Structure 1
């Protein structure tokens, strides 16, 4: 049985936006940190993984959150096409992010989807823990997420997580998993 388009929502960073590649580009070009490879980021927290200095990490994250960067934030391959198709079937498309503010990223999503703000809803919760309440209020049954801890939390609340495969979520888990947007598209009723 395929997922009802009205019942699915999406995380942004690591699912729609290739934020980690942007992070690595800023680290390389602006801080001279060249030793980190995408595939080596096996923990969601770069500090806990001892990959990068805490202060530098937060400076890069703030630049990304505030839109203060000179490098492109690219979408994950296939995301714009699948989301545009989904948006034609069911609008607005819901995005729920742990970012503290939605302004900058909302404009970016509209740009990559080539759509107006009325066709999407971006909710910035400020924390991973607050996603559950937003999803429950909107009767979301499925949520596409790259952070495993959030997936476990949502599953306990009766929301079915779909793990978007990334190097940092390769631990054992019981959830459905997709490696790209075409695999995700196959799970959704697009008619």
Structure 2
């Protein structure tokens, strides 16, 4: 359980932030849809992704996986990247209470995420900021520099790294993070709404 902070204080002090892929955006559904429809991978569904290292859980050539990942990150696809259920409504409420929200992503550029947040969730630059680190390991430094104490993340390995850096991870449950840990878990945005008290 997260016990280091009073929930009201970190909302009031804006000391929390969010990952993007797998937390706000349902990126794995997009990833697998591209795999099925454009690469002919018929048995390719989000439930099959039980490890963040795709080569450990999918019987697909590495080159094909990298092509699909590149398509997703470059936003060159014919599918729609959907939000996780409830994400838009809860994020809007949090932004109204605490002010602009911070999103920290390991993607290499922030612009595509900013555009998606604006177009899909109606969150402009006045209600959010996106920092793209290009690396999972770089997230901790960004969060520390911004005074963030709590981070909602779906990659379990990143959670361990954040904890070591003094940042309290909140693990957004996904099929690829079902291994032992001691972090607070949320099973979707309704759980996050309860967690934040909104």
- TM-score bucket of the superposed structures, by smaller chain: over 0.9
CA offset at residue 50 of structure 1? 3.9
The answer (yes or no) to whether the contact 2:49–2:58 under 8 Å persists in 1 is: no
1:26 aligns with 2:34: yes
The 5-angstrom pairing of residues 143-182 of structure 1 reads 143-182=151-190
Deviations 1:100-157 (A, max 9, x none): 1111111001122213223211000000000000000011010000000000000011
CA offset at residue 189 of structure 1? 4.4
Instruction: Identify unmatched segments of 5+ residues in structure 2.
Output: 1-5
The answer (yes or no) to whether the contact 1:98–1:124 under 8 Å persists in 2 is: yes
Cα distance in 1 between the residues matched to 2:60 and 2:100: 38
The answer (yes or no) to whether the contact 2:19–2:103 under 8 Å persists in 1 is: yes
The answer (yes or no) to whether the contact 2:19–2:152 under 8 Å persists in 1 is: yes
The answer (yes or no) to whether the contact 2:29–2:45 under 8 Å persists in 1 is: no
TM-score norm. by structure 1 comes to 0.95
Helix, strand or coil at the partner of 2:193: helix
1:103 matched to which residue of 2? 111
TM-score norm. by structure 2 comes to 0.92
Cα distance in 1 between the residues matched to 2:121 and 2:99: 12
Instruction: Identify unmatched segments of 5+ residues in structure 1.
Output: none
Write out the 4+ residue segments of structure 1 that deviate beyond 6 Å after TM superposition: none
2:61 matched to which residue of 1? 53
CA RMSD in angstroms, aligned pairs only: 1.2
The 5-angstrom pairing of residues 1-191 of structure 1 reads 1-2=6-7, 4-5=10-11, 6-190=14-198
The answer (yes or no) to whether the contact 1:36–1:51 under 8 Å persists in 2 is: no
Cα distance in 2 between the residues matched to 1:155 and 1:135: 12
Cα distance in 1 between the residues matched to 2:109 and 2:60: 25
Cα distance in 1 between the residues matched to 2:41 and 2:64: 10
Equivalent pairs, count: 190
Cα distance in 2 between the residues matched to 1:36 and 1:116: 34
Cα distance in 1 between the residues matched to 2:80 and 2:152: 23
